[in-house]
Amino acid sequence: MTPSPTDATVVFVAFGVQTLPLDWIPFGAPVVIVHNDPLLDEEQSNHPGVTHVRPGENLGFGRGVNLAVEFVRSRRVIVCNPDVELGRSHWAALASGAADEVVTVRLRTSTGQPMASVLPYPSPIVLAAGTFRTVRIAPPGSRRRALLTKLLGTWGQDRRWTVETPPGRFSLRDRWVSGAVFSIDTELFRRVGGFDTDYFLYLEDTDLSGRLATLDPPIVAVVADAEPGIHAVGGSARDVPAARLARRAQWESAARYASLRSGWEWVGIGVALRCGSMIDRVMHPNIRIGA
């Protein structure tokens, strides 16, 4: 059954963008846009029923979504990054999820490379590699990444999920849902407290999935069987200050995530990440989270 346009509200946190295509959202469906900067003109959001929220500062992603959800009255909320392009088939999939489902869709980069929508929770080494950006030697979709996957055997096959996620149902106890685009039951999101606002940007989606995984009955991730959407990765970091702000947030979020895990591996990686964060602060003292 096709969901009613009033069954779901689409939430955007706008930063670093001047346009926001909304043509994939049906007429009559509510939309909430939190403006973390003044770049997006309200006239560019040509869709009826849009609520514009201007907090007057850059709240970050998680706090921005939490603020937007305060205006949501629908059964379901769809969280979508402003640099993700979707179609009407994606609306139908995201708006029709059940109360115990976090629904997402497959994604590709703007150059056509597949991306992951659901991923294994990061190990200490994987988190450090991503934050220190050592994975650039074998980027997703490259021949080197494919060769590395084969050489690593079973462990490499698990990392296959960092390249592409097939349609299906997956336990949140094993894997987390990317915050690029997903939908969730509104009351469920509120019940777990929304995003942890101590994450300004990065890993707030990993943390949310982990908290949802502790609920009983279990919450599952659903990857809809629809054509992939397009994610222009980093599309909001269009200038040097924005890119440096994102980099600062990546360091601090990774250090926080590691600090909340137990085990000597996490302790060691946490120390390394905090050192990296301090070095970033020394190199770029004018960058301020929330500025």
pLDDT at 48: 87
pLDDT digits (tens, 9 = 90+) for 201-222: 999 999 999 999 999 999 999 9
pLDDT at 156: 47
pLDDT at 4: 76
pLDDT digits (tens, 9 = 90+) for 43-99: 877 788 899 999 999 999 999 999 999 999 999 999 999 999 999 999 999 999 999
- Are the C-beta atoms of 11 and 67 separated by less than 8 Å? no
Q: Is the C-alpha dihedral spanning 30, 82, 173, 270 positive or negative?
A: negative
Percentage of the chain modeled with pLDDT above 90? 71
pLDDT at 161: 47
Going from the C-alpha of 95 to that of each of 33, 101, 187, 213, the distances in angstroms are 18, 11, 15, 21
pLDDT at 162: 54
pLDDT at 240: 81
Tell me the whole-structure pTM to 2 decimals. 0.90
pLDDT beneath 50, residues of the chain = 152-158, 160-161
